[in-house]
Structure 1
Amino acid sequence: MDPIVAETVSCQNQITSFFDNQRIARLLRQSNIAKQCGIAPVVVMRMIFSLVFTGKNLFRYLQADDSGSDMGKDTVYRFLNSVNANWRKLLHLLCAAVLNKKILPLTSIETPKVFIVDDSLYNRNRSKNVELLARVHDHNDNRYYRGFRLLTLGWSDGSSYLPVSFSLLSSAQQKNRLAPMAKVDKRSNGFKRRLESMRTAPEVLKDLVRQARESGIRADYLLFDSWFAFPATIIDLLEQKQQVICMLKEAKTKYGYKGFDLTLKELYKNVRKRCGRAKILASVQVELGKDSRKQTVMAKIVFVRARNSKKWLALLSTDVDLSDEEIVKLYKRRWDIEVFFKISKSYLQLAKEFQSRSYDALVAHTTIVFARYIMLELARRSAKDPRTLGTLFHAGCDELRQASFAEAIGLLLDSLQQLVKTLGDEITAPVAAALDEFMAQIPAIFRRPMLLPACIF
């Protein structure tokens, strides 16, 4: 094979390398995402996966002359609307593979690993008939929107954040649900997803942690904010052998201290404070309650001075042996999930790319968005790339635009070579030498064409 052609065939872009290296086709089969008719599932997923990097919506991409795709929109929506697909298992398998093969070898064994849980608004405010659509309260704006609560579980080692699983929560109260659940087979994964969406967030949180641990994804601590900091939830997580570090809020919840049941504000008044302008004001061990074996559960509460304010914040750790400074340092990692939400909504088209009414399609597309983030995070971490995820996203878009031009150049040169081979040896040799010299003068970015995923199918 000609060296130029060999280099063209062997060279793949970042998206194709990600699909090949992580064996996405095999993960799809293991997640019960099988071919129904026509095009293979991995081909459809790769097209949807790369869609955000082209700057086009699905309709414009399929209508484009240079897309190279033979599939129609019915194929895409049949793939997204499958009730049999186990999208949570796919995300678990992908995350576990990336962690075990790529991230953990780069991380010290002594470095604490954490799970992070938080929810964010999945906005569908202009929709009316989306399945299980609900009135959802947004804590940032302090108002209600139409949409879902995107409850997300992530993993972090302080350097990398990976989304592990999620649940699109509707509402546990029927009066807040604006659209009914579709009738689906009760034995399918889609039916289980729908039932889960109508449960409370603390109940789903415990299931997400348990399923992640059963999939081989482990962490030393679980971080979450005050919206999930209920003693019953914390004790249930401890019975799963999952240590917790969380923020507390001033509520009516009482903690046992020296034989008295005190609220958080009362507890702060009764503990001895550190002198001066210390950032950590005080710490104390309290009783959370009784577990299923009727044993007392102890926890450590650390009071921290709020930045630029005279107020204080309270952090709780179920690991009473951790130092105050280590508790504060570990809780700072919770910000990683806020960065993840920002990147997913601003760059990766979360809740914007498809306007389907099917609950299954919403879950499927959210899983693909999370997989995009894993690819960007893997590229940043494995290559020690100093660029931010937003910069890497735009670099991926530029790569695809350059690939179409590079592919056209490669096809023209290949056609020219085939034509030269039909001529006599006396003409072929000097022309081939001239072509080699011409290729040597072309910049490396064009000498190594990066083919679009849709063109490789």
Structure 2
Amino acid sequence: MDNIQQSSSNSKTFLSFSSVLSKDCLNIGKLLRLSGFKKRSGADILTLFMVFIKSIFSGADSLHDRYSLKDLETPDCSYYALMRFISNCKHNWSLLLLLVAKAAISMISALNDKGHINTLCVDDTVIERPRGKKIEGLSRTFNHVIGKTVKGYTNLLITWTDGISNIPVASELMTSRNEDCVIRSLSKRIDRRSAGGKRRANSVMRKPKLLIELCKDNMK
């Protein structure tokens, strides 16, 4: 009974979330095109994106588990099509996040007074991946919260806030710059000019320098 209630609650949450992504609100289809998301055949980009978003609300621990659940409706695309969509190095997820954030911020700012103070907040949280030996860029990093070195990444996150709402505008997964600490090296087959290549270059930059560049991009 609890699982049925949770599934119903997730479905309602997804319907509310999908209405925000609609053409009348954020127009996520247009933002996907501006971020370089393209597809020649099969399910269109918007369908793949909505399947990916809906999988988050399905209650599954991973995309693979989502396709294994028989009590949920069948997705509109195959598991492999969705994985190719997510791993495509030409898709600029950072730009998509920034465009969505700007659209959301403009709507929220219109509700505030003209003299309302807005600010950018920075956080670098360690994301542990103790069993991910084959994950690209995995490294040993020091977690200051628990006071020991762990396997994972440092998530450099920039958010916008007006004191009430908090919206992420940029996120970069940082790997160790020390080769001795790197467990899985970054792929060298990715075109450095692509969005994926640029993100890999950002992952080994010094945090202060990368932070300045991200803030400049956000202020445009």
Task: Report the TM-score, using the length of structure 1 for normalisation.
Answer: 0.43
CA distance in 2, matches of 1:69, 1:82: 20
1:59 deviates by 3.3
Aligned to 2:139: 134
1:13 deviates by 2.5
Structure 2 counterparts to residues 112-261 of structure 1, below 5 A: 112-182=117-187, 183-214=189-220
Counterpart of 2:30 in 1: which secondary structure?
helix
Which of 34, 39, 48 aligns to 1:44? It is 48
| Closer, same or farther: CA 181–61 of 1 in aligned 2, 3 Å | closer
Structure 2 counterpart of 1:151, which letter? Answer: L
Counterpart of 1:198 in 2: which secondary structure?
coil
Counterpart of 1:122 in 2: which secondary structure?
strand
CA distance in 1, matches of 2:124, 2:65: 32
| Closer, same or farther: CA 66–175 of 1 in aligned 2, 3 Å | closer
Counterpart of 1:162 in 2: which secondary structure?
strand
1:60 deviates by 4.2
| Closer, same or farther: CA 98–198 of 1 in aligned 2, 3 Å | same
Aligned to 1:54: 58
1:33 deviates by 1.0
1:61 deviates by 3.2
How large is the Cα RMSD of the aligned pairs?
1.6
1:37 deviates by 2.9
Per-residue CA distance 1:386-427 (angstroms, 9 max, x = gap): xxxxxxxxxxxxxxxxxxxxxxxxxxxxxxxxxxxxxxxxxx
Which of 76, 79, 82 aligns to 2:88? It is 82
1:15 deviates by 2.6
1:145 deviates by 1.0
1:171, 1:177 within 8 Å by CA — same for their partners in 2? yes
State whether structure 2 residue 12 is matched by structure 1 residue 17: no
1:58 deviates by 2.6
2:51, 2:76 within 8 Å by CA — same for their partners in 1? no
Per-residue CA distance 1:172-230 (angstroms, 9 max, x = gap): 2222211111121122111111111011111111111011012xxxxxxxxxxxxxxxx
Please identify which structure carries the higher helix content. Answer: 1
Extract unaligned runs of 5+ from structure 2. Answer: 1-13
1:115, 1:155 within 8 Å by CA — same for their partners in 2? yes
1:171, 1:199 within 8 Å by CA — same for their partners in 2? no
Task: Report the TM-score, using the length of structure 2 for normalisation.
Answer: 0.86
CA distance in 2, matches of 1:70, 1:49: 12
Counterpart of 2:57 in 1: which secondary structure?
helix
Which one has the largest radius of gyration?
Answer: 1
Counterpart of 1:54 in 2: which secondary structure?
coil
1:36 deviates by 4.0
Counterpart of 2:192 in 1: which secondary structure?
coil
State whether structure 2 residue 32 is matched by structure 1 residue 28: yes
CA distance in 1, matches of 2:35, 2:21: 15
1:27 deviates by 0.5
1:115, 1:154 within 8 Å by CA — same for their partners in 2? yes
Structure 2 counterparts to residues 413-452 of structure 1, below 5 A: none
Number of residues of Structure 1 aligned to a counterpart in Structure 2 = 202
Counterpart of 2:37 in 1: which secondary structure?
coil
CA distance in 2, matches of 1:15, 1:211: 27
| Closer, same or farther: CA 112–15 of 1 in aligned 2, 3 Å | closer
1:171, 1:200 within 8 Å by CA — same for their partners in 2? no
Structure 2 counterparts to residues 245-394 of structure 1, below 5 A: none
CA distance in 2, matches of 1:54, 1:186: 35
- Any runs of at least 4 consecutive aligned residues in structure 1 with deviations exceeding 2 A, and if so which? 56-66
1:131, 1:181 within 8 Å by CA — same for their partners in 2? yes
Structure 2 counterpart of 1:40, which letter? Answer: D
CA distance in 1, matches of 2:109, 2:76: 40
1:149, 1:168 within 8 Å by CA — same for their partners in 2? yes
Q: Identity of paired residues, percent?
A: 27
Structure 2 counterpart of 1:127, which letter? Answer: G
Counterpart of 1:208 in 2: which secondary structure?
helix
